[in-house]
Copies of this chain bind each other. A is one copy, B any other.
Amino acid sequence: MVEPRRQRFDAPLALRSGASIAGYELVYETYGTLNAARSNAVLVCHALNAGHHVAGVYADRPDELGWWDNMVGPGKPLDTERFFVVGVNNLGSCVGSTGPMSTNPATGRPWGPDFPVLTVEDWVHAQARLADALGIERFAAVMGGSLGGMQALAWTTLYPQRVAHCVAVATAPKLSAQNIAFNEVARRAILTDPEFHGGRFYDHGVVPARGLQVARMIGHITYLSDDAMGEKFGRALRRHATDTVLRNDYRFTFDVEFEIESYLRYQGEKFSSYFDANTYLLITRALDYFDPALAHGGDLARALAPAQADFLVVSFTTDWRFAPARSREIVEALLANGRRVTYAEVDAPHGHDAFLLDDPQYMAAMRAWFERVHARVQDGGAAREALPSQEGAR
């Protein structure tokens, strides 16, 4: 049983774009208990369509499991009987924290397209203020998968003294041209939907559902491996309500014919019923923009040089969105800086989605890693090793 909480920040936050936001709220949840030394906190950063509800259920919605509930909880790899876990919804989101659907104090209407464009680094700075508010000077670990992994990496360079361990799963040091291309197609589908109304669809009582559906369908293709999709759906024909027998021939229409079509449409429709189009644009742009090496002439090792954490980097063999080679770039850059890095390349069939699933090898690697983090927390080592004077830094 968990409960979301809300934290207001009134000081303006300067953003990477040069703009700033006057004030904002972040919604977050916590699991487990912060120890007396405040040394057992773990921050979980979310990816595109998740939020602060990482684990557990709400009293009034017992079916709504947190998105990483298989990873986080009592006795789970990230054990909430040992760690104090924080899940936070990012700025610009549509599931609780201040975002384009929130009221712009300057106009009294929804921000919509006027919400500032955000970067991964902006999110990290906003999260750091939440850590301040919670009295967490230093996280035992910051972790995330996919876009969440990018935030975890950014934490280690923006706040090197505040991260003892970093867990970056199924992520990349920057998007490839192909990654950007998929984002761009999704954005075009939204931006050109007549019901987008330049981002002011709230005023028209509509949502650009068609654009969001197409965007989500594209996303889903990139989350699954070709093989996993083949195994799950193959070329199986969809049975319709009016069918009295299993079909083994085509209908010859453009309506749902194959199971894979039915699956994608369902995912698209579900997504468009709750996700905000302006948020989708913001988050995909933050993905595009993430490139810590850009300011260092493309040298990732130099970009990661400030990091003081120990790292666990995990990739999945069939992930073609952020392939293992992308994780290896991160590992090599960290090793070039003399960092301690554990790298797990997990042979899992599910593609990018594997980071959310229960692969035993993956779960075992996470569990073993957090055993180590826990041992360090226990003897105070995690805090001591990289931070000469914890009190002084506070």
* A interface residues, Cβ below 8 angstroms from B: 16-19, 116-117, 174-178, 180-182, 184-185, 187-189, 191-194, 210, 213-214, 217-218, 220-221, 224, 226, 229-230, 232-235, 248, 250, 252-254, 257-258, 260-261, 264-265, 268, 281, 285, 288-289, 291, 294, 320
Cβ–Cβ contact A291 & B235, under 8 A: yes
Nearest-Cβ distance from residue A233 to partner chain B, whole angstroms: 4
**A180 to chain B: which residues have CB within 8 Å?**
235, 258, 260-261
| A-side interface mostly | helix
Cβ–Cβ contact B221 & A258, under 8 A: no
Nearest-Cβ distance from residue A189 to partner chain B, whole angstroms: 5
Nearest-Cβ distance from residue A120 to partner chain B, whole angstroms: 13
Query: Once the chains are docked, how many angstroms separate the CA of A150 from the CA of B100?
Result: 48
Cβ–Cβ contact A184 & B260, under 8 A: yes
Cβ–Cβ contact A194 & B191, under 8 A: no
Cβ–Cβ contact B189 & A214, under 8 A: yes
**A187 to chain B: which residues have CB within 8 Å?**
254
Nearest-Cβ distance from residue A237 to partner chain B, whole angstroms: 10
Q: Say yes or no: A181-B250 contact (C-beta < 8 A), given A213-B192, A214-B188.
A: no
Cβ–Cβ contact A181 & B260, under 8 A: yes
Nearest-Cβ distance from residue A225 to partner chain B, whole angstroms: 8
A260 nearest CB neighbor, chain B only: B177
**A192 to chain B: which residues have CB within 8 Å?**
210, 213-214
**A281 to chain B: which residues have CB within 8 Å?**
254
* Complex partner residue of A188 from B178, B234, B268, CB under 8 angstroms: B268
Q: Nearest 6 pairs between A and B by C-beta?
A: A17-B252, A192-B210, A117-B252, A177-B229, A177-B233, A177-B260
Query: Once the chains are docked, how many angstroms separate the CA of A260 from the CA of B193?
Result: 21
